[in-house]
């Protein structure tokens, strides 16, 4: 198949994790232009990537550049406007997480893509980490039996960001810890264990005056999955020193998976223990052992990088018309969980996600 011609919009931090896909797999994805409001930044990235066409305005780019798709890496408040402009101009769209800053915006973009026949994918890169796909295959094959509970956390420290940074501003980011970092693991809960039915309780906390317009520093939530499994999530972006933590535990009736990255290494493997593969518990201490790394080779993914794999998956879906593994439509479920947590924290009451 011919390479998908892609223009990158937003040349900041996360763009540096997308660019290797274009450098390493040019026969599948060809980077044809880079756009950023900050022209100097766009030029530096374009120079490094060997790209000639540089823009500061996405509408001009869409008029002038022959491309099939936009790779949207702008700030969250700009996701929906840029995605809608791209779809209106007949392009496919890969958009960074969080999908958009409101559920209504997410739905608007999905509807526009459906009408236009555009492929729409949300860059939930953690779905494309080999260990997470291996964990999913193990669960789907029934090795854990029925999933009974999930537990997850996402712990970071945003204190090093400059005052006034968009991540401190709920109006630009859509919120704080939950939508900013928690969304990765909430999406992964759905990817591994299925949809969430209701948020039972949630609490958020903001103390620092740096965080404005409803951006929370800490959040905790309990929820129930469609199959009745118990769920718990914690997110923090103001932890005073913490090992990198993006823990995810899936407890099944006959096995447990844990994906708890070593400090600083989000690509660490996931581990599984199950009746089928682990020695039986005889002594009290045996219950804590028996975990072995999931087999990441079995998934046959081209890269260790979730971003590289997601961009190649997007290109394949654009060519075939297949629904991406993290399509806009699917991601509505993740964004309903995010919205449900915020709604429950605001009202103090449980929230049925079907009502959102």
Ligand X SMILES: NC(=O)c1ccc[n+]([C@@H]2O[C@H](COP(=O)([O-])OP(=O)(O)OC[C@H]3O[C@@H](n4cnc5c(N)ncnc54)[C@H](O)[C@@H]3O)[C@@H](O)[C@H]2O)c1
One of 8, 31, 33, 73 touching ligand X (CB under 6 A)? 73
Burial class (CB in 10 A: 0-12, 13-18, 19+), 205: middle
- Tokens linked to 161: 């960001």
User: Which phi and psi (to 5°) does residue 305 adopt?
Assistant: -85, 125
User: Which residue's C-beta sits nearest to ligand X?
Assistant: 12
Say if residues 258 and 248 touch (Cβ distance below 8 Å).
Answer: yes
Q: Toward ligand X, which CB reaches closer, 13 or 265?
A: 13
Say if residues 284 and 120 touch (Cβ distance below 8 Å).
Answer: no
Task: Work out whether 261 is an interface residue with ligand X (CB under 6 A).
Answer: no
- As a dihedral over the C-alpha atoms of residue 271, residue 277, residue 279, residue 284, rounded to 10 degrees, the angle is 40
Least distance to ligand X from the beta carbon of 73, Å?
5
Least distance to ligand X from the beta carbon of 219, Å?
16
Nearest to 191 by CA among 20, 355, 36, 324: 324
Question: What is the rounded radius of gyration, in angstroms, for the C-alpha atoms of the chain?
Answer: 20
Q: Specify whether the backbone of 300 is left (phi greater than 0), alpha (psi in -120 to 50) or beta.
A: left
Task: Work out whether 200 is an interface residue with ligand X (CB under 6 A).
Answer: no
**Interacting stretch for ligand X, rule CB under 6 A, among 4-12, 249-257, 285-293, 311-319?**
4-12
Task: Work out whether 122 is an interface residue with ligand X (CB under 6 A).
Answer: no
Task: Work out whether 174 is an interface residue with ligand X (CB under 6 A).
Answer: no
Which residues, including other chains, have CB under 8 Å from residue 209's CB and lie 6 or more apart? none
Least distance to ligand X from the beta carbon of 305, Å?
11
One of 4, 6, 8, 10 touching ligand X (CB under 6 A)? 10
- The count of chain residues that interact with ligand X, using the rule CB under 6 A, is 23
Least distance to ligand X from the beta carbon of 38, Å?
5
One of 6, 33, 80, 82 touching ligand X (CB under 6 A)? 82
The number of CA neighbours under 13 Å toward the Cβ of 336 is 21
Task: Work out whether 127 is an interface residue with ligand X (CB under 6 A).
Answer: no
Query: What is the sign of the dihedral through the CA atoms of 213, 218, 222 and 227?
Result: positive
Least distance to ligand X from the beta carbon of 9, Å?
5
Least distance to ligand X from the beta carbon of 41, Å?
5
CA 119 from chain centre, in angstroms, equals 17
Q: Toward ligand X, which CB reaches closer, 38 or 304?
A: 38
User: Which phi and psi (to 5°) does residue 4 adopt?
Assistant: -75, 125
Task: Work out whether 252 is an interface residue with ligand X (CB under 6 A).
Answer: no
Q: Toward ligand X, which CB reaches closer, 148 or 165?
A: 165
One of 4, 9, 318, 332 touching ligand X (CB under 6 A)? 9
**DSSP code, position 143:** T
**Interacting stretch for ligand X, rule CB under 6 A, among 20-28, 74-82, 199-207, 333-341?**
74-82
Q: Toward ligand X, which CB reaches closer, 76 or 328?
A: 76
Beta-bridge mates of residue 38:
none
User: Can you tell me the distance from the alpha carbon of 31 to that of 41, in angstroms, rounded to the nearest whole number?
Assistant: 16
Site pattern 20..39 for ligand X (x: CB under 6 A)? ---------------xxxx-
- Tokens linked to 216: 């929370």
- Sheet of 92-96, strand order: 53-55, 29-35, 4-9, 69-72, 92-96, 120-123
One of 68, 71, 96, 343 touching ligand X (CB under 6 A)? 96
Task: Work out whether 41 is an interface residue with ligand X (CB under 6 A).
Answer: yes
Task: Work out whether 137 is an interface residue with ligand X (CB under 6 A).
Answer: no
Least distance to ligand X from the beta carbon of 168, Å?
12
Least distance to ligand X from the beta carbon of 177, Å?
12
Residues that bind ligand X (CB under 6 A): 9-15, 35-38, 41, 58, 73-76, 78, 82, 96-97, 123, 125
């Amino acid at each position: 198949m011919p390479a998908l011609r892609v223009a990158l919009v937003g040349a900041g931090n996360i763009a540096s994790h997308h660019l290797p896909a274009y450098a390493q797999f040019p026969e599948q994805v060809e980077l044809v232009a880079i756009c950023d409001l900050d022209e100097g930044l766009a030029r530096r990235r374009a120079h490094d990537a060997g790209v000639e066409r540089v823009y500061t305005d996405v509408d001009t780019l869409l008029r002038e550049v022959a491309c099939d798709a936009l790779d949207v890496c702008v700030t969250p408040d700009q996701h929906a406007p840029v995605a809608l402009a791209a779809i209106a101009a007949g392009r496919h769209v890969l958009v960074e997480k969080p999908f958009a800053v409101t559920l209504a915006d997410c739905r608007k973009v999905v509807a526009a893509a459906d009408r236009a026949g555009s492929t729409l994918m949300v860059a939930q890169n953690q779905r494309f980490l080999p260990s997470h796909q291996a964990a999913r295959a193990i669960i789907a094959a029934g090795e854990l039996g029925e999933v009974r509970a999930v537990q997850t956390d996402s712990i970071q420290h945003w204190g090093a960001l400059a005052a006034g940074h968009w991540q401190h501003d709920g109006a630009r980011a859509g919120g704080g810890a939950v939508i900013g970092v928690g969304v990765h693991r909430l999406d992964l809960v759905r990817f591994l264990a299925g949809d969430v039915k209701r948020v039972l309780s949630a609490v958020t906390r903001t103390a620092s005056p740096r965080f404005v317009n409803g951006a929370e520093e800490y959040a905790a939530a309990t929820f129930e999955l469609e199959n009745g499994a118990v769920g718990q999530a914690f997110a923090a972006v103001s932890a005073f020193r913490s090992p990198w933590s993006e823990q995810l535990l899936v407890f099944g009736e006959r096995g447990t998976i844990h994906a708890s990255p070593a400090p600083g290494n989000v690509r660490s493997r996931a581990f599984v223990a199950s009746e089928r593969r682990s020695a039986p518990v005889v002594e009290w201490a045996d219950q804590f052992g028996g975990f072995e790394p999931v087999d990441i080779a079995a998934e046959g993914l081209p890269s260790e990088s979730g971003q590289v794999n997601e961009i190649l998956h997007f290109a394949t879906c654009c060519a075939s018309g297949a629904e991406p593994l993290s399509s806009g439509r699917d991601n509505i479920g993740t964004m309903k969980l995010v919205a449900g947590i915020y709604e429950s924290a605001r009202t103090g009451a449980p929230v049925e996600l079907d009502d959102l």
